[in-house]
Chain A
Amino acid sequence: MNKENKLLSYHKAWQINKRAFTLIYKRYPQMILSRLICIVWDALTPYVGIYLSALLIEELSESRDTSIIKNLVLIILCSITIISLVAAFLHKWRDTACAGLYYKIQQILSEKLMDMDYEDADNAKTHELYDTIEQNRNGGGWGLNRVYGHVEGILSAVLTLFGGIALTVTLFTSRVPYSSGNYTILNHPLFIVLIIAVMLAITYLAPMLSNKARSYYALNSNSHNLGNRLFGFWGWLGYDNDLAADVRIYRLDFICDKHNNDKTGIFGSGGMFAKLSRGPIGLYNAASSAISVLFNGVVYAFVCLKAIGGAFGIGAVTQYIAAITKLSGSVSTLLQTAGDMRNNASFLKLIFAFLDIPNRMYQGSLTVEKRADRDYEIEFRDVSFNYPGSENYALRHVSMKFKIGERLAIVGRNGSGKTTFIKLLCRLYDPTEGEILLNGINIRKYNYKEYLSVFSVVFQDFKLFAYSLGENIATNIEYDVKLATQCLINAGFETRLKELPDGLNTYLYKDFCKQGVDISGGEAQKIALARALYKDAPFIVLDEPTAALDPIAESEVYSNFDKLVGDKTAVYISHRLSSCRFCDDIAVFDNGQVVEHGNHDKLITDKNGKYHELWFAQAQYYAEKA
């Protein structure tokens, strides 16, 4: 990852920022427009006050005509009031339009996570990339959320610059009268060149110095991220009630304390950044701020000398000083923002690396026939598979067929390829070699969504969400109450459902609703099963559905199995081999291969077979009768 932290060239940085800005603008044009219009207003209007005040001061110091003064004061007060009034409306518009902008921008990433091929969503590299993006955001605020701020900064600086220049043109054009002796030398054009040279030198140096200081943070963002992650781990270990027993038995407070009291940690007072800040970071920042002041000094001197020479009056002096102060600030903001954009570009590059992950999975267009007789047949034809980046095949030469209405059990040791088989079946992955057919046609040729609609799966690590029970069953905001209830009843959730205060409207967990219910592992498994039933797909796949259940609950699932599954095809993975007895067909996996295939009565007879070994490893403990 270290390569990624190198600063990009300004050209590349500009391109990548432009792309990011366009991305955000296209999605949320109103937000960006409201921000930019506010910026224009806020940048230009201060000059109105500066200009008018200068007129007033001029009048006060020279002719002191009461009626002119009165009018000027009224004009100043009214124009400032109108400017603020317009600003108040503009800001209201902006703040309303931009509500939730932070989340909306996060959603760009979330959508990508849901849209990418499962292969990529499951890839550790993708996770790492996403985590890095997230840590950059949390650690230093880097990423997409900075893009529009930078554009605003640049726009504001440019407008301020032009406004300032407009108000200072006369500083150079008004000449010291010849009666002023030596002061006439100020009329020499060399002074203009000199001042511009000083301005350029300082406006180059000041931001360069401060960007230098900032670049320490950007360059060290890796150690910064690890620091944050470690801090995030050890600082909060004690909060997890689930671990409380573990923490006490193993005295984890000791090791936590060791890490938490370590002040040499990344942001601690004895840490790397603290040292850097006492040294280079602090000094660069100090030098940068100090140097900007010099420009003001030179211009002040020039303005005053010219005024003493009689080139202009006192009012103009205040106008020039105020305008120059604003202008000099804007140049350094401009360059500083440009430097920041460049720093941010390397973080944006990571974000685009993430957003640009292509969807490589071939998507066919065939529709899956919705057959009333549900006559589907699946065939694996010499399928081999290895996970991307892994050397070993997770599945090797798997060939098998199964028809609708069958019950297929899949057994085998940990890591023998059972879950991989399921993932291929549901086309979360495509086979490396061989093909999978649905009714004789390669599954890649079907429309992906249509193909997925054929399957319902309860994965081992299934996930329920903190929304209402009904929504969880239907995976939709709207749902068929009758059907959802029936599915819950079929999944064995009936008794608990009756106890729930708001029935299907009861929220799961307490994230969003104080009346939400906590559910045990066994109950969650039943809800997940109900969700799978609600989908009413011809194939239902269950991965270890009884792991969290006690003997009685387990036996209930077994005895209801036929009723549950009905005329659907069921694929059943379990470490509890007793479940194999209900299945028409058993596939025994070992080392990525299907080593045996048949029903229980057939497989058990092969004394040297894997099935026999697995079966008796468990059955031996139940040999005797009670």
Chain B
Amino acid sequence: MSQSSDKKEKVSKPKYNMWQCSGYMINLAWREKEKKVLVLCLLQAFLVVFSNLVNLYISPSILAVVERRSSFAELITTIITFVILLLFCSAASSYVSSNTLYGRVSVRGAIIAAINKKSCITSYPNITDEKFIKLRSKSGQVVRGNREATEAIWGTLTSILQNGVGFIIYLILILSLNGWLMLVVLATSLLGYFINKKLSGYGYRHREEEGEISGKLWYQIMQAKNYSAAKDIRIFGMKPWMEEVSSKAITAFTAFHKRANNIYMWGSILDLVLSFLRNGFAYAYLIYLILHNGLSVSQFLLYFSAVGGFAAWVGGILGGLTTLYRQSLDISTVREFLDYSEPFKFEDGKALPSSMDTPYEIMLENVSFRYPEARDYTLQNINLTIHNGEKLAVVGLNGAGKTTLVKLICGFFDPTEGRVLLDGQDIRQYNRRDYYALFSAVFQNFSLLAGTVATNIAQTEDNQDVSRINDCLEKAGLTEKIATFSNGLQTYLNRRVYEDGVELSGGETQRLMLARALYKKTHFIILDEPTAALDPIAESEMYQKYNKMTEGCTSVYISHRLASTRFCDRILLIDDHGIAEEGTHSELLNCNGKYAKLFEIQGKYYREGNIHEQRKQITELS
């Protein structure tokens, strides 16, 4: 991304302003049936102001009683009244604040669910869109913890409310005494606030610098606990390296905070100068009133406390608004993410015709594809028909575009040019999710769910078909392994989540993914390098079972092990952005092209002969 557009992004206004974002959150709490969040906010603000007032009046009132040398009864009544009020305030606010968390977590949870849902179902090309990825990762941060905007906003709204009400009450109180005093207090509070904000903004303005350093420190901590790195760290003696990186980062971190704190200190110094002036003025004026206008000492105490407390309300409101502004930027990001436009048709698309009468056939018609930001085409002018029940293999070098081809077939990407047709109809018109329902797949990256073996195969926790699960485990060659677990199908996988979970090896996980694909039992099955982690015998078994496993399905098998392809009806060799060769294994060998060459390179050493000559021949070939 160029610099100018970077800058533009910074000045670009958020789509939703502070009030829209607050409104959105309030509305969300209402819709999610979490009205208690709002009620508790109001209660909390009310209690804070109320208890502040009780505390403001308690000392002066008691003092007044003593000053007047009132009766015993009056004294006790006054004290009991205040004690009851205080009792009520502290009990109620303590109870309320013990209960605020859960509703707020649930509202944030609803946003987490919405963001995750959007991420799970958004049109596939969006996930390679840089703007979308940025919004997604930022949105993810914004919901990550209690202190993030989507939950902390309730505290901010409460704070603005309570400070606003407190401000008005104190304002009236001081104003009732003297307008000038009020002006001095207001002016020093505002001045102190704004200058301090400017100074303390240093950290915020330089947050990226700080974030970069703390990111490095955090990375170190994550690496130290990375279990697969433990071997490398020991063998290569990496500890001094790691420690040096950390200590460099700590030095930079300290230097940053030293700079920041030097600046913040001026804020504190300014504050003490201002409060010197404010208190001096208040003392002078109030003492003058005592000496000449008969102000009582208890009133002196009341007004002086009010003057001292006033700045806090002003700071509270303005600080609250600043925080609300920052938080609404974050919430606006979430909303922009949730609003992100969908290039694919989903619920607004046509329903798929049922395949009962006509078996499905997929056709790629003059398909070319270029990744959105890329200069060059990954695939060009592909014409391909995948017949019903066909076993297709796709081979090629790393980076040739095998996986891209499959993504076009599955409808993850739409072609840049040309069309993908299902039974002659452009798939773009259908509800894309219906289309995905036709496929099952084993991709190179797979998700081991936090759940049982059965859940991982059925991909749901409800209505699991146990006999089908067992059948698929059998086909994938996992029955014996599962039998060794005392809880069988109900054994938890995923150690990250379940402490008693079972860890499967790479090969076993690959088989589990195969069982899952078989369980889904769809029309098309896609297998992307499903044998990479298997030993030679397991690999060979897989080849031999392949036809049985994919019986009745149309299948696409991607591999760079050329041995695997002979079980397929047709092999496509992807090279030079297109289908370079096409045919059965023996046809391709006979035509003596690229496929034959690759096969020769891979197979040469498996044949008898002089190793040195073979090596020479291969060097010539490649």
Highest count of chain B CB atoms <10 Å: which of A87, A257, A260: A260
Q: A317-B66, A414-B535, A626-B596 are in contact. Are A265 and B109 (CB under 8 A)?
A: yes
Question: Would you call B580 an interface residue if the criterion is a C-beta within 8 Å of the partner chain's C-beta atoms?
Answer: no
Pick the contact of A121: B227, B261, B437 (CB < 8 A). Answer: B227
Check B572 for interface membership: any CB of A closer than 8 A: no
Determine the distance from Cα of A270 to Cα of B105 in the docked complex, in whole angstroms: 11
* B547: Cβ under 8 A from any A Cβ: no
Tell which of A118, A251, A257 touches B113, judged by Cβ atoms closer than 8 Å: A257
Distance between A611 CB and nearest chain B CB, rounded to angstroms: 11
* Distance from A254 Cβ to chain B, minimum over Cβ atoms (Å): 7
Binds B, one of A157-165, A278-286, A342-350, A378-386: A278-286
**A61 to chain B: which residues have CB within 8 Å?**
67, 297
Q: Contact check, B221 vs A110: say whether CB atoms are below 8 A apart.
A: yes
Instruction: Pick from A100, A304, A548: contact of B66, CB below 8 A.
Output: A304
Question: Do B563 and A618 touch across chains, with their CB atoms under 8 A apart?
Answer: yes
Q: Which residue of A lies closest to B296 (CB)?
A: A61
Contact A114 B224 (CB under 8 A): yes
Chain A residues with Cβ under 8 A from B258's Cβ? Answer: 96, 99
The segment from A18-26, A196-204, A231-239, A430-438 found at the interface with B is: A231-239
Given contacts A84-B272, A96-B258, A255-B459, contact A293 B622 (CB under 8 A): no
Report if A166 contacts B (CB, 8 A): no
A6 in the interface (beta carbon within 8 A):
no
Q: In the complex, identify which listed stretch (A122-130, A167-175, A396-404) lies at the interface while the others stay far away.
A: A122-130
| Residues of chain A within 8 A of B499, CB atoms compared | 1, 128, 131, 226
Q: Are A308 and B66 in contact (CB under 8 A)?
A: yes
Report chain A residues within 8 Å CB of B80: 297
A495 within 8 A of B: no
- B325 partner residues in chain A, CB cutoff 8 A: none
Q: Which of B14-22, B118-126, B188-196 contacts A (4 or more CB under 8 A)?
A: B118-126
Pick out which of these stretches binds chain A: B309-317, B361-369, B380-388, B444-452: B444-452
Q: How far is the CA of A176 from the CA of B290 in the complex (A)?
A: 28
Taken residue by residue from 469 to 487, chain A's Cβ proximity to chain B (1 for < 8 Å, 0 otherwise) reads as 0010001110000000000
The answer to whether B265 and A88 have CB atoms under 8 Å apart is: yes
A residues 487-520 near B (Cβ < 8 Å) are: 511-512, 520
Q: Is A317 in contact with B397, judged by CB distance below 8 angstroms?
A: no
Give residues of chain B (263-320) contacting chain A, Cβ–Cβ below 8 Å. Answer: 264-265, 268-269, 271-273, 275-276, 279-280, 283-284, 287, 290-291, 297, 300-301
In the assembled complex, the Cα of A134 lies from the Cα of B250 at a distance in Å of 21
Q: Is A581 an interface residue (CB 8 A)?
A: yes
* Distance A290 CA – B83 CA, assembled complex (angstroms): 9
Q: Known contacts A84-B268, A301-B76; decide if A256 and B116 are in contact (CB<8 Å).
A: yes
Q: Which residues of A lie under 8 Å from residue B95 when comparing CB positions?
A: 282-283, 285-286
What residues on A are CB-neighbors of B615 within 8 Å? 558-559
Q: Decide yes or no: A237 and B447 within 8 Å by CB, A414-B505, A461-B228 being known contacts.
A: yes
B105 proximity list for chain A (CB < 8 A): 267-269
Contact of A477 with B241 at beta-carbon distance under 8 Å, contacts A294-B83, A321-B59 already known: yes
A131 to B99, CA, bound (A): 29
> Are A582 and B536 interface neighbours, CB within 8 A?
no
Contact with A452, one of B63, B234, B254, B601 (Cβ below 8 angstroms): B234
Q: How far is the CB of B253 from chain A (nearest CB, A)?
A: 4
One digit per residue, 1 when the CB lies within 8 angstroms of any chain A CB and 0 when it does not, for chain B 587-622 equals 001001000111111111111000100110011001
Binds B, one of A9-17, A146-154, A241-249: A241-249
For A115, what are the chain B residues with a Cβ–Cβ distance below 8 Å? 239
- Does B440 sit within 8 A of A, measured CB to CB? yes
Instruction: From A95, A236, A287, give the contact of B116 (CB < 8 A).
Output: A236
Which DSSP category, helix, strand, loop or mixed, fits chain B's interface? helix
Point out the residues of chain B lying under 8 angstroms from A251, CB to CB: 433, 436-437, 459
Which stretch (A101-109, A333-341, A439-447) binds chain B? A101-109
Query: B565 to chain A: closest CB distance in Å?
Result: 9
Nearest Cβ distance between residue A425 and chain B, in whole angstroms?
11
Closest partner residue, chain B, to A626 (CB atom): B596
* Chain A binding surface SS class: helix
Stretch at the interface among A35-43, A363-371, A549-557: A549-557
| Closest Cβ neighbor of B532 among chain A residues | A547
Q: Does A81 contact B (CB under 8 A)?
A: yes
Indicate if the CB atoms of A278 and B410 lie closer than 8 Å. no
Identify the stretch in B159-167, B174-182, B211-219, B352-360 within 8 Å (CB) of chain A at 4 or more residues. Answer: B211-219
A77 within 8 A of B: yes
A459 and B235 CA atoms in complex are apart in Å by 10
Contacts of B440 in A (CB 8 A): 249-250
Residue of B nearest to A104 (CB): B250
Contact residue among A261, A550, A578 (Cβ-Cβ distance under 8 Å from B398): A550
Complex Cα distance, B237 from A455, in Å, reads 11
Distance between B82 CB and nearest chain A CB, rounded to angstroms: 8
**A609 an interface residue at 8 Å Cβ cutoff?**
no
Please tell me which one of the listed residues A66, A239, A292 contacts residue B90 in the complex, with CB atoms under 8 A apart.
A292
Say yes or no: A551-B221 contact (C-beta < 8 A), given A84-B271, A414-B534.
Answer: no
Which residues of A, 575-610, contact B by the 8 Å Cβ criterion?
575, 577-579, 581-582
- Tell me whether A277 and B606 are in contact in the complex, defined as CB-CB below 8 angstroms, given that A121-B230, A300-B62 are known contacts: no
**Interface status of A355 (Cβ within 8 A of chain B):** no
B540 near A618 (CB under 8 angstroms)?
A: yes
Q: Does A274 contact B (CB under 8 A)?
A: yes
Mark interface residues in A60-97 (1 if CB within 8 Å of B CB, else 0): 11001010010001001100110011011101100110
Q: Do B233 and A114 touch across chains, with their CB atoms under 8 A apart?
A: yes
Tell whether, in the assembled complex, residue A73 and residue B62 are in contact, meaning their CB atoms are under 8 Å apart.
no
- The verdict on A205 contacting chain B, using a C-beta distance below 8 Å, is no
- Closest A residue to B459 by beta carbon equals A250
Most chain B CB within a 10 A radius of its CB, from A261, A269, A614: A269
Q: Tell me the minimal C-beta distance from A107 to chain B in angstroms.
A: 6
Q: Which residues of A contact B516 (CB under 8 A)?
A: 250
Q: B31 at the A/B interface (Cβ < 8 Å)?
A: no
Would you call A122 and B227 a contact (CB within 8 A)? Answer: yes
Q: Is B447 a contact of A268 with CB atoms below 8 Å?
A: no
Most-contacted residue by chain B among A110, A282, A613 (CB, 10 A)? A110
CA A292 – CA B396 in complex, angstroms? 77
Residue numbers in A under 8 Å from B110 (CB-CB): 261
A621 to B606, CA, bound (A): 9
State which of A235, A261, A321, A550 has its C-beta within 8 Å of the C-beta of B62. Answer: A321
Distance A124 CA – B495 CA, assembled complex (angstroms)? 9
Answer yes or no: A44 CB below 8 A from chain B CBs.
no
Closest to B273 in A: A81
In the complex, B92 has a CB within 8 A of chain A: yes
Interface membership of B236, Cβ < 8 A: yes
> What CA separation (Å) do A289 and B470 show in the bound complex?
59
Is the beta-carbon distance between B140 and A558 smaller than 8 angstroms?
A: no
The complex places the Cα of A2 from the Cα of B593 at a distance, in Å, of: 66
A466 CB–B CB distance under 8 Å = yes
Known contacts A111-B239, A290-B90; 15 additional CB pairs below 8 A are: A109-B224, A235-B116, A245-B412, A248-B124, A269-B103, A285-B97, A287-B91, A293-B83, A297-B82, A317-B66, A414-B534, A463-B229, A512-B219, A559-B619, A626-B592
A sample of 10 cross-chain residue pairs with beta-carbon separation below 8 angstroms, ordered by A number, consists of A99-B253, A113-B225, A256-B113, A268-B109, A274-B103, A305-B72, A428-B235, A476-B241, A531-B236, A617-B539
10 closest A-B pairs by beta carbon, nearest first, are A622-B603, A238-B119, A621-B563, A99-B257, A110-B224, A297-B83, A578-B605, A260-B113, A274-B102, A253-B120
